C-alpha cells in the first residue's frame, strides 16, 4: 500500500479513499499483547491503518545515548518490532513522532533534558508578558514545566537529531509506515491559544522581524503604512495585549506572523525527518473565545506539501451548539482527515462517550462537514506503562475503547466496523460527491488578527463567521468556507452568494476577485462596513456589494435541505455526474420521535436514538446502504430504527443499530 495526499484526500495505490484509522499507543501496553491487539483492531474493527505516537521521552530518556527503537533498554521501546508486527498482519501505519505529542504523556512526550528549567542553554517559550509558557501534565501539577521555544537554536538542534533518527531508523523504505504526522494540535497543543500566548521569545521575535522585512522591504515602507518613525527593524516590537497604542496594520501583522511562524515550525520539523512520505498535521478546533486567534494562526495555504488535519476534544456536539460550531469550522477550514475522534475516553472527558452513539455522531459530522477520513482514538484500551512515561493517569487508558484492555471487543466494535466497511465500499464515491450548498463565507484573515488582539474594537472575522454559521444551520443550510486571499474565481463560482466580513480595508486583489464574482452574477453580502481602502491603506473601492447586511447573511430562497420535524441537523452530498447521494442526519440529545428531512430528492424520515445519527446512500431507485444508530445507553434511549424514502421503508427487527452494507 502506498499513500499520497492530494488536496487533503488520501490516494491509496492510485485510488482516492476515506481512511478510517485507529490509534494504538503501543508504548502503554505490554509488548507480549501487541500482536493480539493488532489482530483485534484488524479483524473486529475492520481497520487497515494504525496510527501511533512515538514518545521522544520514552525512546530517548538520556541525552547521552541514541534513541532506542529496538527495545534494548526496555521492551516497550521496541517500535521496530511493533512495526514488524503491523507489516506481518497486513496493517499500515501513520507514525507520529512529535516531537511534542500530548497524549496524556508526561511533559507532552518531551524528554526532561530539553526543558529550559533543566538546561539553561535552551531558550524558553515566552508569552506577551515575558512569562515562561508551561506544560502541566494534569490540573494537579500546575504550573508545570517550561516549554522550549521551537525556533531556539539549542532546542532546534536536539529536535532535528530526534526526528532525523526517526527518519533513518524507523521509517524503513520496505516497512509499513505510509505517512507521518508531526507536532500536535498546533505545536504544543497550542493551535487554539490566544495570539498573546506565544512566541515572544528572542528567537520568536527575531522571526517576526524577519517576516516584517520580507513583507515590507524597507522600514520606510513600513513606517508609511503604520504611521510610525522606526529607524530599524530591531526597534519594532509586537503590539501590546489588547492592541493599545498600535495601528490596525500592526495588529494584522502579528496575526500574519503567527500563521507564518506555525508554517515555519511545521516545515522545519518535516524537513528534519528527511522522509519522502506524506506529512500531515492535526489542529485542535478553535475555542469559542479564541476563534479569531485560531483563524489568524491556522493557514494551511502556507504549508506547501504539508497537509491539514484536525482533532476533536472540545465537547459533545449532539448536546452543545458551541461545540458543534467549532467542530464544523475545523472540518471546513481545509480538506483533510479527522485525525483524532474520541472513541474511548469517558472518564477523562465526558461520560457521554461511554456510548458508541456519541462518537459515531461526531465521526459522521466530521465527514459531512468536509473531513476526508476519521481516526478512532484510541482503538484499544491499554493497561501498563512505565511510570516516567505517565504517572498522572491510571489504567485502563482509555477507559472505554472499542477493544478492551483484555483484548475483547466491546459494544463499540460493531459500530466502528460498520463505519469502516461503509467507507471501504462507498468512500471513493462519497469523496467525489459535492456538498449541496449554495452559500459560502469568505474569510478575510487580516481582520482575524486584528480582532484577536482588539476584541470588539475594530473589524471582525470570527464573530461574523459564527453569526453566519448559526444563521445557516438554523435555516438548514450547509455552506462553504473560503480564504479570500488565496481563493480562485472558479472556487467562488461554485456558490450563488458569499458573505464577507466588513471593515475599512481589504486587499486590492480580493476586492477585484469579488468584483468579478459580482459581474458573473454572484451575490456578495458584507457583514459590516464596505471597504474603501486596499491593504496599504490607499483608496480602493473596486467592488460594491449588491446587499450590505449588518446582522448576517440574507436568505437566498428556500433551503436546499431542511429538517421539517424533530431536533436534528442534516447534510447532503450529491455526485456531480451520476445519481448517487449521501444524506447524514445528526440527531440531537433532546430529540423525541422521528426526524423528517426535506431534500431535493424527496422527503426522508428517520427514526433513531437520541444523540445518534444516520448515514444513508440514496439513489433514484430509493434507499441503498445505510447505518443508523438505534441505541444510546448514556441517554437511556433505545428505538427500533426505521427509514422511509421514495415509497420505501426499511425497519429494524428490534431496538438497536441498523446496518445494511451490500458489498460489491
- Flag whether pLDDT at 160 surpasses 60: yes
Mean pLDDT of 304-309: 97
CA dihedral over 21, 24, 25, 26, signed as positive or negative? negative
Q: Where do the H-state alpha helices sit in 219-278? A: 219-226, 248-273
Mean pLDDT of 406-424: 98
Mean pLDDT of 141-152: 94
Mean pLDDT of the chain: 95
Mean pLDDT of 101-112: 97
Say how far apart CA 448 and CA 600 lie, in whole Å.
Answer: 36
Per-residue pLDDT at 285: 96
| Cα→Cα distances 446→248, 253, 282, 485, 534, Å | 9, 8, 23, 10, 12
Helix (H) or strand (E) holding 296: helix 291-297
* Cβ atoms < 10 Å from Cβ of 142: 10
- Flag whether pLDDT at 550 surpasses 50: no
Per-residue pLDDT at 556: 63
- CA-based nearest residue to 449, from 275, 215, 656, 635: 215
| Cα→Cα distances 242→197, 261, 443, 454, Å | 13, 21, 22, 5
CATH topology of domain 3-114+154-194+263-427: TIM Barrel (3.20.20)
pLDDT tens for 25-45 read 999 999 999 999 999 999 999
- CA-based nearest residue to 436, from 616, 573, 578: 573
- Flag whether pLDDT at 548 surpasses 80: no
Say how far apart CA 647 and CA 144 lie, in whole Å.
Answer: 61
- Flag whether pLDDT at 549 surpasses 70: no
- Flag whether pLDDT at 570 surpasses 60: yes
Say how far apart CA 69 and CA 227 lie, in whole Å.
Answer: 56
The pTM score is: 0.96
- Flag whether pLDDT at 52 surpasses 50: yes
Q: What residue ranges do the domains of the chain occupy? A: 3-114+154-194+263-427, 435-548, 562-660
- CA-based nearest residue to 126, from 153, 158, 152, 105: 152
- Flag whether pLDDT at 140 surpasses 90: no
> What letters, b where the CB count within 10 A reaches 16 and e where it falls short, cover 169-180?
bbbeeebbbbbb
- CA-based nearest residue to 439, from 398, 478, 491: 478
- CA-based nearest residue to 53, from 26, 73, 76: 26
Say how far apart CA 306 and CA 322 lie, in whole Å.
Answer: 29
Say how far apart CA 497 and CA 36 lie, in whole Å.
Answer: 53
Query: What confidence category does residue 551 fall into, taking pLDDT thresholds of 50, 70 and 90?
Result: very low
> Does residue 146 contact residue 133 with C-beta atoms inside 8 Å?
yes
Mean pLDDT of 447-455: 95
- CA-based nearest residue to 295, from 306, 283, 305: 283
pLDDT tens for 175-209 read 999 999 999 999 999 999 999 999 999 999 999 99
Query: What confidence category does residue 293 fall into, taking pLDDT thresholds of 50, 70 and 90?
Result: very high
Mean pLDDT of 459-481: 94
Mean pLDDT of 543-550: 68
The class of domain 435-548 in CATH terms is: alpha beta
Query: What confidence category does residue 554 fall into, taking pLDDT thresholds of 50, 70 and 90?
Result: low
Beta-bridge partner residues of 132: 126
CA dihedral over 612, 618, 622, 624, signed as positive or negative? negative
Per-residue pLDDT at 243: 83
Amino acid at each position: 500500500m502506498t499513500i499520497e495526499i492530494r488536496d487533503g484526500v488520501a490516494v491509496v495505490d492510485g485510488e482516492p479513499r476515506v481512511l478510517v484509522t485507529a490509534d494504538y499507543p503501543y508504548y502503554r501496553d505490554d509488548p507480549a499483547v501487541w500482536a493480539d491487539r493488532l489482530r483485534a483492531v484488524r479483524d473486529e474493527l475492520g481497520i487497515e491503518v494504525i496510527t501511533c505516537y512515538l514518545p521522544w521521552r520514552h525512546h530517548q530518556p538520556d541525552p547521552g545515548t541514541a534513541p532506542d527503537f529496538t527495545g534494548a533498554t526496555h521492551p516497550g521501546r521496541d517500535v521496530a518490532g511493533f512495526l514488524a508486527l503491523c507489516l506481518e498482519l497486513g496493517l499500515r501505519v501513520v507514525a507520529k513522532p512529535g516531537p511534542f505529542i500530548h497524549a496524556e504523556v508526561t511533559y507532552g512526550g518531551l524528554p526532561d533534558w530539553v526543558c529550559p528549567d533543566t538546561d539553561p542553554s535552551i531558550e524558553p517559550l515566552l508569552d506577551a508578558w515575558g512569562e515562561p509558557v508551561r506544560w502541566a501534565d494534569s490540573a494537579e501539577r500546575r504550573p508545570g514545566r517550561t516549554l522550549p521555544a521551537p525556533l531556539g537554536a539549542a532546542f532546534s538542534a536536539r529536535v532535528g537529531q530526534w526526528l532525523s533518527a526517526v527518519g533513518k531508523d524507523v521509517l524503513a523504505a520496505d516497512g509499513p509506515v505510509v505517512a507521518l504526522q508531526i507536532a500536535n494540535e498546533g505545536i504544543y497543543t497550542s493551535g487554539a491559544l490566544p495570539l498573546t500566548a506565544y512566541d515572544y521569545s528572542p528567537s520568536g521575535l527575531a522571526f517576526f522581524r524577519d517576516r516584517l522585512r520580507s513583507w515590507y522591504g524597507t522600514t520606510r515602507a513600513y513606517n508609511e503604512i503604520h504611521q510610525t518613525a522606526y529607524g530599524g527593524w530591531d526597534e519594532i516590537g509586537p503590539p501590546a495585549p489588547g492592541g493599545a497604542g498600535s495601528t490596525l496594520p500592526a495588529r494584522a501583522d502579528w496575526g500574519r506572523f503567527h500563521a507564518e511562524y506555525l508554517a515555519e515550525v511545521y516545515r522545519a520539523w518535516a524537513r528534519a525527518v528527511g522522509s519522502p512520505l506524506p506529512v500531515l498535521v492535526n489542529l485542535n478546533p478553535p475555542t469559542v473565545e479564541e476563534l479569531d486567534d485560531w483563524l489568524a494562526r491556522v493557514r494551511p495555504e502556507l504549508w506547501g506539501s504539508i497537509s491539514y488535519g484536525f482533532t476533536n476534544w472540545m465537547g459533545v456536539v449532539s448536546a452543545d451548539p458551541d461545540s458543534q460550531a467549532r467542530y464544523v469550522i475545523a472540518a471546513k477550514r481545509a480538506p483533510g482527515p479527522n485525525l483524532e475522534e474520541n472513541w474511548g475516553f469517558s472518564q477523562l472527558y465526558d461520560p457521554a462517550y461511554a456510548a458508541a452513539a456519541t462518537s459515531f455522531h461526531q465521526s459522521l459530522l466530521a465527514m459531512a462537514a468536509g473531513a476526508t477520513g476519521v481516526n478512532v482514538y484510541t482503538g484499544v484500551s491499554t493497561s501498563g506503562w512505565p511510570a516516567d512515561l505517565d504517572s498522572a493517569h491510571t489504567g485502563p487508558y482509555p477507559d472505554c475503547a472499542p477493544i478492551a484492555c483484555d483484548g475483547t471487543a466491546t459494544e463499540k466494535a460493531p459500530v466502528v466496523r460498520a463505519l469502516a466497511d461503509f467507507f471501504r465500499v462507498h468512500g471513493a464515491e462519497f469523496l467525489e460527491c459535492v456538498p449541496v450548498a449554495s452559500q459560502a463565507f469568505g474569510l478575510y484573515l487580516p481582520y482575524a488578527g486584528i480582532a484577536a488582539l482588539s476584541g470588539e474594537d475594530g473589524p471582525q472575522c470570527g464573530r461574523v463567521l459564527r453569526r453566519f454559521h448559526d444563521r445557516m444551520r438554523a435555516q438548514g443550510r450547509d455552506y462553504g468556507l473560503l480564504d479570500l486571499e488565496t481563493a480562485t474565481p472558479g472556487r467562488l463560482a461554485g456558490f450563488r452568494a458569499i458573505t464577507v466580513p466588513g471593515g475599512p480595508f481589504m486587499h486590492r486583489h480580493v476586492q477585484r476577485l469579488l468584483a468579478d464574482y459580482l459581474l458573473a452574477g454572484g451575490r456578495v453580502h458584507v457583514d459590516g462596513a464596505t471597504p474603501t481602502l486596499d491593504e496599504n491603506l490607499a483608496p480602493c473601492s473596486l467592488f460594491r456589494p449588491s446587499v450590505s447586511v449588518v446582522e448576517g447573511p440574507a436568505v437566498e430562497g428556500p433551503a436546499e435541505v431542511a429538517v421539517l420535524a424533530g431536533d436534528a441537523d442534516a447534510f447532503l452530498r450529491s455526485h456531480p455526474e451520476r445519481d448517487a447521494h449521501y444524506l447524514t442526519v445528526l440527531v440531537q440529545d433532546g430529540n423525541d420521535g422521528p426526524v423528517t428531512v426535506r431534500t431535493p430528492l424527496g422527503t426522508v424520515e428517520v427514526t433513531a436514538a437520541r444523540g445518534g445519527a444516520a448515514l444513508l446512500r440514496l439513489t433514484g431507485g430509493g434507499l441503498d446502504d445505510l447505518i443508523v444508530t438505534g441505541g444510546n445507553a448514556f441517554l437511556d434511549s433505545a428505538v427500533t430504527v426505521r427509514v422511509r424514502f421514495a415509497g420505501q421503508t426499511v425497519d429494524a427487527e428490534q431496538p438497536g443499530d441498523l446496518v445494511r452494507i451490500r458489498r460489491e
